[in-house]
Amino acid sequence: MWDDAFPSFLIGLREGLEAGLVVSVLVATLVRADAKSRLPQVWTGVLAAIALSMSFGAVLTFTAASLSTAVQEAFGGALSIVAVAFVTAMVFWMRRSARSLAGEIKEKVTEALTMGAGVLVLTSFLAVGREGLETALFLWTTARAANESAGPLTGAGIGLVLAAVLCWGLYRRVLSINLTRFFTATGAVLIVIAAGVLGYGLRDLQEGGVLPGGTAYAVDLSGSVDAGSWYSTLLQGVLNLTPTMTWLQVVAYAGYLGVVMTLFVRGVRGVPGVRGGVPAPSATPALPVQGTPPLPTPAPARPRPAWLIPVAVVAVPAVLAGLVVVLARPEPAGGETVAVSAKDCGQGFTAPEPGRQTFQMRNTGDQTSEVYLIDPGTNAVYGEIEGLAPGTTRDLVATVAGGTYAWRCVPSDGKAVTSKAVRVGGAAGAGAVVPVSEQDLAGPLRAYKAYVNRGLATLVTETRKLGDDISAGHLGAARADWLTAHRTYASLGAAYGTFEDFDQKINGRPDGLPGGVHDKDFTGFQRIEYGLWHGQPAGELKGLARQLTDDTAGLRKAFPRQDFDASDLPLRAHEILENTLQFELTGDTDQGSGTGLATADANLSGTRELLTVLRPLLTTRAPRLLPTVDADIARLQALLDAEHRDGRWTPVDRLGRTEKARIDGATGQLLEDLSPVPDLLEIRKSA
């Protein structure tokens, strides 16, 4: 998470220190000029600035969430560029202003005290509010780039807390910081980070259709760089450098970095207190000292409740933010009720407005029906409802963009009916899923069944060899041959659902059996594993080995006649490794051999084989998915290979904490990236 947290940590530390210095100078000026009674006015302004900044962040978050995908990309890209502009201006301003900050603030406080309480509140509000708005904007853009908020929020929080501690130390004069050196160093780092944010923002604008060149790649290392590796994650999280970048991104990144960094470095040499580009020994702005003459005090104002102003300065930005969110959120077309039946499919459907829409689908027929919002030209599906019962109404939510739309109603016992098509103007959208038929999956199913048949033939040979070892009393050789045979069986994971009772006989676990590992119904690989690694003599294992050989031979004979549902293939792409994470990587299935990682490796091989047969279908529907999954697989494979030394696998319970976390994390990431496969390749009714 640190790779995503670091940019936000730096901006939180730097902006927090800027705002904190302003507040420290304000407070010190008032305290040392016998005007402590005016401190609540400073804190009221600070509170108002914080409330405004948080409300601004909420507006960005909730407004973006209500937009369509394409508009979200454009919105985020535009704000990323604005954030870069703010950060760049802030870097240059603070480089110039660090030494004279205290004097400027003291002068403003003096003026504010002569003009009344409102001006002092406004002074502190403006001083802190600018940093707060910049922080909120930059934090929002970095969270969006990271596709998660925990890391950026954690980093910003740590930075702000550290900034508060440093400011307290400066105020109490227990700490001395060379602020010129600090703002120079952090400014240079922020320029590098801002260059990455600029590139990311331009990429968003390209994906949102605002800028051209979205497919003109200057760099495409997706096939050779592991996107899940630590170095790739670090570069993407901190610098927003990705394995694939367009020409516009590369030119903008290099141009911004070259021009801005050059100007920054040249400017550093001309800043007072910096000699030859090296900061002078002391650049901490001096806080007002004892002996400051008393500041003028305005006439007393009419007393008002102490809680009124703090509540108001928090409530007003929050209310305004709420109004903006409500007004910016597009109203769903919830009033449009669309009929679903074999006769009236799509009745009441009119061309909707672009954006996120909610359609009320009412089944007016006498049969349960499947309902799809489709592109009639390609049959691509934008939204669906399964099992809409007669007489019921359910909402279907979909994002509508430029294109042609129609409804397809598929009754449970009848032919599919497609409504008239309507045309929606505007830019084309994304997100539709090209449907898959049983015929589309017929080829991959044949290829995978052939793979399983070959694997079962090998398995029969290997279990016979295992049985011969045990019969001859060669238990050392039996342990090696047991692992070979068990890995072969584990590599057939996508077919487990078709093996019927054979799977329990061949690879069943003792969970739930009255006698546990000694129960008579506990047979197969795991029972033999228990015996081989718990010192049972060969005589006690001969019968179990013979039964395993018979069961694998029976499975090989029965498999060609067993029902293998084509829709199982997409489901198993995710489930094989889901079981691996649940059982093998927790040691739950280990009966003494310590070979859980070897089984996980075999499961990974089975997943790779399954994806091979599904690759043609996935390539046309999600071209970016497979390169990501391939990188995930390579990463997990490398981690598993590292635990296989001199022919021995590290037992799961002996893995170091770091190694275990990496393997679990890589498996979890692969699972997450495989999760869209079942939806992409779901067989949808069309007749």
CA atoms of 24 and 288, how far apart (whole Å)? 10
Tokens of 259: 């021009």
Task: Note the pLDDT of residue 531.
Answer: 95
Task: Note the pLDDT of residue 386.
Answer: 82
Task: Note the pLDDT of residue 153.
Answer: 78
Task: Note the pLDDT of residue 282.
Answer: 41
* 456 compared with 30, residue with greater pLDDT: 456
Closest CA to 13 of 133, 182, 143: 182
Interval 130-140 mean pLDDT: 72
- Torsion-angle region of 242 (φ positive above 0: left; ψ -120 to 50: alpha; else: beta): beta
Interval 42-54 mean pLDDT: 79
CB 509 within 8 A of CB 526: yes
Task: Note the pLDDT of residue 281.
Answer: 39
Q: What is the pLDDT of residues 504-555, one digit of tens each?
A: 899 988 988 899 999 999 999 999 999 999 999 999 999 999 999 999 999 9
Residue type, 253: Y
Q: Is the pLDDT of residue 573 over 50?
A: yes
The structure tokens 């109603």 sit at 409
- Name the percent of the chain lying above pLDDT 90: 24
Task: Note the pLDDT of residue 144.
Answer: 66
CB 626 within 8 A of CB 611: yes
Picking from 149-163, 231-245, 334-348, 426-440, which range would have the lowest pLDDT averaged per residue?
A: 231-245
Task: Note the pLDDT of residue 273.
Answer: 47
The structure tokens 């995978």 sit at 448
Task: Note the pLDDT of residue 276.
Answer: 40
Taking each continuous run of H as one helix and of E as one strand, the counts in the chain are 20, 14
What's the chain's average pLDDT? Answer: 78
Top-confidence range, 159-163, 165-169, 238-242, 533-537: 533-537
Q: What is the pLDDT of residues 372-429, one digit of tens each?
A: 998 888 888 888 888 888 888 888 888 888 888 999 898 887 788 899 999 888 766 6
Q: Is the pLDDT of residue 88 over 70?
A: yes
* 651 compared with 230, residue with greater pLDDT: 651
CA atoms of 264 and 259, how far apart (whole Å)? 9
Task: Note the pLDDT of residue 234.
Answer: 62
Give 55-80 as a DSSP string.
HHHHHHHHHHHTS-HHHHHHHHHHHH
Q: Is the pLDDT of residue 182 over 50?
A: yes
CA atoms of 102 and 440, how far apart (whole Å)? 72
Task: Note the pLDDT of residue 289.
Answer: 44
Task: Note the pLDDT of residue 546.
Answer: 95
Interval 71-91 mean pLDDT: 73
- Name the percent of the chain lying above pLDDT 70: 74
Top-confidence range, 391-400, 431-440, 462-471: 462-471
Q: How many residues does the chain have?
A: 687
CA-based angle 199:202:203, to the nearest 5? Answer: 85
CA atoms of 547 and 563, how far apart (whole Å)? 24
Give 599-624 as a DSSP string.
HHHHHHHHHHHHHHHHHHHHHHH-TT
Q: Are strands 644-645 and 648-649 parallel, antiparallel or unpaired?
A: antiparallel
Residue type, 196: G
Interval 227-248 mean pLDDT: 67
Q: What is the pLDDT of residues 553-566, one digit of tens each?
A: 999 999 998 888 88
Task: Note the pLDDT of residue 280.
Answer: 41
Task: Note the pLDDT of residue 332.
Answer: 44
Entry pTM: 0.51
Residue type, 601: D
Q: Is the pLDDT of residue 261 over 80?
A: yes
Task: Note the pLDDT of residue 111.
Answer: 60
Task: Note the pLDDT of residue 447.
Answer: 93
